[in-house]
Structure 1
Amino acid sequence: MHSRYVRRLADVAVGGRPLRIELSVRRFYCENPACVKVTFAEQVDGLTVRYQRRTALLQNLVETVGILLAGRGGGRLLGLLSAPLSRTSVLFQLMRVPLPAVATPRVLGVDDFALYAQVYGTLLVDGDTRLPITLWEGRDGAALAAWLREHPGVEVVCRDGSLAYRQGITDGAPESVQVSDRFHLWQGLSRRVQDVTAAHRSCLTAAVLPPTERQEVQPATDGEPPLETTRAGRHAKRLFEAVHEHTDSGDSISAIARKLGLNRRTVHKYARATSWQDVVRRGRLRPPTALAPYLDHLRRRWEEGEHNATILHQELVAKGYCGHYQRVKVAVASWRATDGRPIPQEAAPSPLQTARWIITPPERRGLQAQEQLRLLFAHCCELAHVHALVREFAAMLDQQDATALPGWLEKLATCGHPTLAGLAKGIREDQDAVIQGITTSYSSGMNEGRVTDVKLQKRIMAGRAGISLLRQRVILIAHLRRRSSHQAASRW
């Protein structure tokens, strides 16, 4: 023994009061002259840590709070626990925690996430344990290929339809099986269906008219100027012609955006439209008013001969109506102009609502949706054909059978809609991965769950987390949750 000295260690609070341990520690010297350590101090297992003024119990508490709440939140909680620490110290202790060793997974999940405006990152997830492996800034295929070369042995890779990830997996792990996620396939088809319903907006209006009045609805009415004479119409027509002039020459979306000085999303919207009328912004339907639930009673009382708006308003108030008298007066004013005949006005479904009806399985649709679709398909055979294609693809996903995929792609390419033809072209280019996604049980569900967790950690840190801090918290908090669940299961 060389000498003794006193170590002062901070421990977890007792009864709400800070606790300090004064420990007499022995210092030893080494008799080996070749040893670089001339003297060294003894350590008490479970109590002391080298170069640390906290006990192991308090240090574990600080690290756990830092993992769960990061800087400011962790500092506030430690202050309540009578172990005050600044936010920078909490983050410093968090960054000192070593990450778990990376083992090459058999099933790898790859997905991107938004760091901030127009900046994305890449997240890797172990498909067997569903734990995050690592993440980095950027979503290019070169970084993914480099990681796969450093960790050989990946057998299956689950991803979305990203071309960059597809090329990166092919370069880094050419022997692995790529699986295109079913969720993204269905999401891509849903978006194309919405584009098709937007192109048939006039059909949606005609489908809700009575059979005697069901005719082709013109885009302009007698009380409104023609669409091509408005400022918005002229602007949309000019951009539509300019964009399609470049698309016909074979230029890419990005090249057209640079030439015309437009946003890439704007160019993409005009490029996938079949006519310039499809991209003109139209007014949204008004939401139902407070009077809507009482219209049936109001019409019945009007037909019975009660035409006094004041009395009608008082009757509705007795039934629970909380609106103003003026709204009732305006509602019956239109009936006075038609000699007391109420004119039912049924709003046409929006393209988004119609697309949801088409995508929803028939057994989950409401009676109103089924009736609206029946009228719509009887009026527009093209939407009926699109509905049949959607149900055919849904059957392939439910039965996990891709035998009918080539024939379905041929129908999709020849249906006459450019958006659906583009989807068929994209699936053909990635057909092997799409078949794996349909027929196998692998999916990117664990990727989407971990991306949601990344977004949560970003919000906790007010979106100011750097990539290194974000990586530290996302990986450590996932392992901490897994360890806590296992401990709870073992206790039960």
Structure 2
Amino acid sequence: MLRLVHGMTLPPIGPLRAVGIDDWAIRKGQTYGTLLVDLDRRRPIDLLPDRSSTTVAAWLRRHPGIAVITRDRSSEYARAATMGAPAALQVANRWHLLLNLRQAVERWLGRVHGRLRHLPSLAAEEARRPGQRLRAYRRSQAEIAVGLDSRARRLAAYEDVRRRFQGGETLLAIARQTGLARGTVRKYAQAESFPERATRRPSPSRLDPYLAHLEQRMTEGCENAMELWRELRERGFAGTHRQVHRFVAERRTRPARRTARKWLARTSPPVTDAIPLPSPKQLAWFLTQPVEGRLPHATAAIGRIEQDPEAARFGDLAQRFAVLVRTCCDDDSRPSDPAGELDLWLDAARLSGIPALETFAVGLERDGAAVRTALTTSWSNGQAEGQISRLKMLKRTMYGRAGFPLLRRRVLLAA
């Protein structure tokens, strides 16, 4: 079977006008190849064993006549297109523009998240319906102890990274010495304070439909968890008494009669349902999403962080750029001059005084021709992204054991 596949004639490439370029993982995180797609015929035309500018430029020289090259924001592919097809029109992928924007927002939020956590919640954010949970159920003492140990280890790593970084060591050297990922080292080095783990929004629980009844009964003075559990069973609750005990334990006004003496000193006062600030990743997602599609909790979180002037300025500029990218191909809401709008945005970003935004703007200016073309034409690299997903499927059908020559033939022959 393998001899037959290797002996089959590959389909001819033919004349090319528009080509999409994207990378794919041979071994994720280690080695990568390049996939080239004919955008007119909507099919892959070749696989390359690496993603270096030299290899891609040599392939482009062997196929003259290419007028359009769509690609991601990779500097290697930009260099390859310039060397291999200097007359071709380069188009940056709009999806990657939004991705890079969200990454820039997330990096900045990771640095200032400790400051934003201290901002007061808005009245609209704190409002909740009876029986609505705004936080997860309290964990057991053993789970809390494990969490504190984990926090102590992360705090020690944070202080070590900060000490090394302030001593002049590079991020790469710190990562090698500490064994931490470079992304973690970068986050610790740039953070204004120790980045606490953000509290997630509560996931659905089978106790949720009965929360209003529990709150009403506890307001009436009933703090007997077993009695409340028996009442819920009569109402159809199928969970165990432990779930009710956990709910009641964090809202008691006094210790239970059978509480062991060693736990009396650890009894905490009743908790309030204050909404925690979402993580930097969640906030970055909220800030770059269309305003009309935001959920109420996302709108409330953005309103809360916008009490900080720098966050309000960053959020406004991020939303302006996201709207520009999304509407550039929409005939109904397309700006009259997308390139001019981009220049105005770049000027505002340079004057914002926010390093993360200034760095993002510098990257856009460096890739300015491809970015402007992306905003003024309908070309997209979406076809290459789709063929990458198809290539992954073919890899998995061979259990990841196919060598590059066989995988290349399967991709090209199946097209």
Contact persistence 1:257–1:263 (CA under 8 A): no
The yes-or-no answer on 1:393 pairing with 2:330 is: no
Cα distance change of structure 1 residues 348 and 280 upon mapping to structure 2, 3 Å threshold: closer
Match of 1:459 in 2: 396
Q: 2:103 aligns with which of 191, 201, 208?
A: 191
1:74-473 alignment runs, 5 A limit: 90-117=1-28, 118-207=30-119, 209=121, 230=152, 232-243=154-165, 246=168, 257=172, 261-262=176-177, 266-267=181-182, 269-271=184-186, 275-276=190-191, 280=195, 282=197, 285=200, 287-288=202-203, 289-337=205-253, 343-377=272-306, 379-400=307-328, 401-473=338-410
Contact persistence 2:114–2:194 (CA under 8 A): no
Amino acid at match of 2:46: T
Aligned alpha-carbon RMSD (Å) = 3.2
* Distance in 2 separating the partners of 1:279 and 1:114: 34
Shift of 1:441: 0.4
Question: Is the partner of 1:261 in helix, strand or coil?
Answer: helix
Cα distance change of structure 1 residues 233 and 304 upon mapping to structure 2, 3 Å threshold: closer
Contact persistence 2:57–2:81 (CA under 8 A): yes
Shift of 1:314: 2.1
Per-residue Cα deviation, 1:368-426 (whole angstroms, up to 9, x for no partner):
2222322332x222222122112211222233212121221233234333322221111
Contact persistence 1:243–1:267 (CA under 8 A): no
* Distance in 1 separating the partners of 2:175 and 2:231: 61
The yes-or-no answer on 1:474 pairing with 2:411 is: yes
Structure 1: runs of 5 or more not aligned: 1-89, 215-222, 248-252, 479-492
| TM norm structure 2 | 0.79
Shift of 1:268: 5.2
Shift of 1:172: 0.9
* Distance in 1 separating the partners of 2:226 and 2:18: 71
Structure 2: runs of 5 or more not aligned: 127-143, 256-268, 329-337
| TM norm structure 1 | 0.67
Instruction: Report which stretch shifted further, 99-108 or 336-345.
Output: 336-345
The structure having more radius of gyration, on CA atoms, is 1
Cα distance change of structure 1 residues 242 and 451 upon mapping to structure 2, 3 Å threshold: same
Cα distance change of structure 1 residues 279 and 206 upon mapping to structure 2, 3 Å threshold: closer
Cα distance change of structure 1 residues 421 and 152 upon mapping to structure 2, 3 Å threshold: same
Cα distance change of structure 1 residues 453 and 279 upon mapping to structure 2, 3 Å threshold: farther
Match of 2:129 in 1: none
Shift of 1:319: 3.8
**Percent same amino acid at aligned positions?**
32
Contact persistence 2:94–2:380 (CA under 8 A): yes
* Distance in 2 separating the partners of 1:154 and 1:464: 34
* Distance in 2 separating the partners of 1:283 and 1:359: 19
Contact persistence 2:198–2:277 (CA under 8 A): no
Contact persistence 1:257–1:267 (CA under 8 A): yes
Q: Which has the higher contact order (CA 8 A, sep 6+)?
A: 2
Per-residue Cα deviation, 1:312-337 (whole angstroms, up to 9, x for no partner):
11232344433221331232233332
- Of Structure 1 and Structure 2, the greater strand share is in 1
| Count, aligned residues | 369
Contact persistence 2:174–2:185 (CA under 8 A): no
Question: Is the partner of 2:313 in helix, strand or coil?
Answer: helix
Shift of 1:149: 1.1
* Distance in 2 separating the partners of 1:149 and 1:199: 44
* Distance in 2 separating the partners of 1:278 and 1:471: 49
